[in-house]
Amino acid sequence: MARAAWRTAEVEELRSHFRSFLSREVAPHLGEWERQRRTPRSFWQAMGRSGFLCPWLPEAFGGSAAGFGISAVICEELGRTGFMGLQTGVSVHADIVVPYLEQLAGEEQKRRWLPGCASGEILTAIGMTEPSVGSDLANLKMTAVRDGDSWVINGQKTFISNGVDCDLIILACRTDPAAPASQGVSLIVVETGTPGFLKARPLEKMGQHIQDTAELFFEDCRVPVANLLGAEGHGFRYLMENLQRERLMISIAAQVAAEQILAKTLPYVKERKAFGTPIGSFQHNAFKLVELATEVEIGRTFLDAVIDEFEEGTDITRRVSMAKWWMSDLANRVAYEAVQLHGGYGYMAEYPVARDFVDVRAMPIYAGSNEVMKLILARMMGLDSRMPD
């Protein structure tokens, strides 16, 4: 199989260095971090010191002006640790939130925030989801009202990745209640410690325990007018544009999950015996594994093509919507079959496949549910007109 264009010699050299970093600095601590349900700040700072946080940022802001392929490798290798929450936390910060700051913040704010984002001193989050609003972002309820030189923010956000530990958050707020739903939304930055910004307890999740997820409250939270990102009322468009990169990161995570779950299941079915025979040699099991291996191979080929297109600057909305739903669905099917093939051991928490099973379950839900991905695609095919512009 031909190597994807994004897998350059530089990218693969970085992969080798990052694997060594993970083996030395991260792997010995993963079990403890999972039990604590928190990734310590020392991890972020170690990532920053080694140049693995936001490497795509310009050198002036602490990055190395690297291409997206480096971000893809970091996401892949974090996923191969088997602790998908770690991968989620890093992707949210480095490849989902910080791009908004680099694209939309003013020069003074970039100088204030971006070097810390690259060093691990500043951890970021983005606040989209609300208790009554998930994929339907045009119906946000959080408000930001202009009062002199400030925005006064009121509302609640939930299921916020990095929400407990974040130092700043980008909030999607309704700044013009009279405007059409998708035209009255703006993005505003709020720093931790701002009066009125309250962090509730970490949410108890099914999986991805190593990464914190929070419920956040904003009660008459006052921030400078200058904390507006981009143009007022353009927030919904910014979200739709940047969600394509987010969905690509989830596609990478899902593909790697499917690959690593399958890779550790194959040795097990060759060694585990039933009725004196390796269970992998039973025709039903062998055929199932062959089918999954084929789909995983197809997924890798498709994913590499979408990454190449993204690096070239092509609009990937259609193909990344396909990749996100199909690969996250595939990861869940591989995890389900892996648990089944492990039998009772697959249900035991000390077996990594049990953690895989609950960790992948979130992938079809966040960044727009898989059902929403299909609605987007249906609309692009002229089959559904209900999705907002």
Per-residue pLDDT for 1 more than 80? no
Is 12 among the catalytic positions? Answer: no
174, 184 Cβ separation under 8 angstroms: yes
Q: What is the pLDDT of residue 15?
A: 96
Predicted confidence band of residue 54 (pLDDT cuts 50, 70, 90) = very high
pLDDT, tens digit (0-9, with 9 covering 90-100), for 195-228: 999 999 889 999 999 999 999 999 999 999 999 9
**What are the chain's domains?**
9-122 (1.10.540.10), 125-233 (2.40.110.10), 237-380 (1.20.140.10)
Predicted confidence band of residue 302 (pLDDT cuts 50, 70, 90) = very high
d(CA 12, CA 72): 11
Please compute the mean of the pLDDT values over residues 368-375 and round it to a whole number. 94
Amino acid symbol at 188: I
Please compute the mean of the pLDDT values over residues 147-154 and round it to a whole number. 97
- Point out the catalytic residue in the list 34, 215, 232, 246: 246
- What integer best gives the mean pLDDT of the chain? 94
Q: What is the pLDDT of residue 254?
A: 98
Give the range among 64-78, 171-185, 222-236 with minimum mean pLDDT: 171-185
CA torsion 63-190-169-52 (nearest 10°) is 20
Predicted confidence band of residue 138 (pLDDT cuts 50, 70, 90) = confident
Predicted confidence band of residue 387 (pLDDT cuts 50, 70, 90) = low
d(CA 200, CA 219): 13
d(CA 67, CA 70): 6
Sign of CA dihedral 312, 317, 319, 324: positive
For 188, the enclosing helix (H) or strand (E) is: strand 185-191
178, 184 Cβ separation under 8 angstroms: yes
Please compute the mean of the pLDDT values over residues 378-384 and round it to a whole number. 90
